[in-house]
Amino acid sequence: MENSENTTPAKPFYDGLLSVIVPCKNEVEAIPVFYGEFKKVMQGMGSPKYELIFVEDGSTDGTLDLLRRMSKEDPSVRFISFSRNFGKEAAMYAGLKSARGDYVTIMDVDLQDPPSLLPDMFSAIISEGYDSVASRRCTRCGEPPMRTHAARLFYKILNSLSDLKFKEGARDYRLMTRRVLDAILGLEEYNRFIKGMYEWVGFKTKWIDYENVPRSAGETKWSNFGLLVYSLNALTSFSTVPLVMAALVGIALCALSGLGIIFVIIRQLLEPGSSQWGWPSMVCIMLFLSGMQLFCLGVLGHYMSKIYLETKRRPAYIVRETSE
């Protein structure tokens, strides 16, 4: 696969093929900007071999038409188009499965995962012997402050509940060798959370920090509610501690009620008739306890719904059209 704009005579930065997976939902404005920037970076790296795999995730704008055109004009561009919107996790999975490269990376199309980090990432793999190079935003400027606080809180809770350690600001963007990719493809679960999978498979990983970059064009696809659901899924995908906590809360409340019963008996013995006092506090206690029960049921239900979805063995996505 030779790139037509091969203008830089320098020796290619790496041998072999790089697969770049780019999930896209309604990104007709951002794709051309990404394509131009990515090719510039590749030229700067001595025009090594690459394939760009755009995964079109149920777009309603002209994204698919644009990708059809691009794949005709440039042999290093491929696309996979879904039958509807399946979400970014499914799009990344489809891309990873179809990647043919010796090296693989996933990038957002809005340039928030800067392609300019690629030379440093390759150096770490080729010269320093790492298996994968992960990226992490060290700042979140340009993002609503509430989202930043919520994200911080999420990582704190996730890290305290899971055996795996998640870095705050970690991106889906990372460069990995075929060995790491094959390990990730070995995880065939339906409820996918790729950041957790990266941590779960392990391997020697280097972290690169970078400043947050605002979106190049178009708009974010995430609503606050969408992010909340995503966070809950992430939490329960890589930790069963909430289930243990529900049981512990139950035990603690039983112990507390035991103490309460002893208190009521002693008071009744010391002051006959006093056990009729305090029905308003009784109502509060009952409300609290029913609340806790519903909460624990909710936690249980959430895990159960995940088992339910896994047992159906439905595919994570359905492909409607591909470039070849």
Contact 261, 254 (CB under 8 A): no
Contact 158, 90 (CB under 8 A): no
Residue 112 engages Mg ion in binding (rule: CB under 5 A): yes
Tokens of 115: 């392609």
Residue 222 engages ligand UDP in binding (rule: CB under 6 A): yes
Q: How far is the CB of 241 from ligand UDP (least distance, A)?
A: 26
Binding piece for Mg ion, criterion CB under 5 A, among 103-111, 178-186, 227-235, 286-294: 103-111
Residue 199 engages ligand UDP in binding (rule: CB under 6 A): no
Exposed (0-12), middle (13-18) or buried (19+): which is 197, by Cβ within 10 Å? buried
Binding piece for ligand UDP, criterion CB under 6 A, among 82-90, 115-123, 160-168, 258-266: 82-90
> For residues 169 and 155, what is the distance between their CA atoms, to the nearest angstrom?
9
Q: 174 forms bridges with which residues in the sheet?
A: 134
Q: How far is the CB of 233 from ligand UDP (least distance, A)?
A: 14
Task: Kindly determine how many residues on this chain lie close enough to bind Mg ion according to the rule CB under 5 A.
Answer: 3
Tokens of 145: 């402050």
Nearest CB to ligand UDP, comparing residues 25 and 174: 25
- The correct pick among 140, 167, 221, 302 for binding ligand UDP (CB under 6 A) is 221
Reported as type and span, the H/E element at residue 49 is: strand 49-56
Tokens of 311: 């047992």
Among ligand UDP, Mg ion, none, the one that 24 touches (CB under a kind-dependent 5 to 8 A) is: ligand UDP
Q: How far is the CB of 33 from ligand UDP (least distance, A)?
A: 12
Binding piece for ligand UDP, criterion CB under 6 A, among 19-27, 36-44, 46-54, 247-255: 19-27
Dihedral angle at the C-alpha atoms of 206, 212, 214, 219, nearest 10 degrees?
70
What are the residues binding Mg ion (CB under 5 A)? Answer: 108, 110, 112
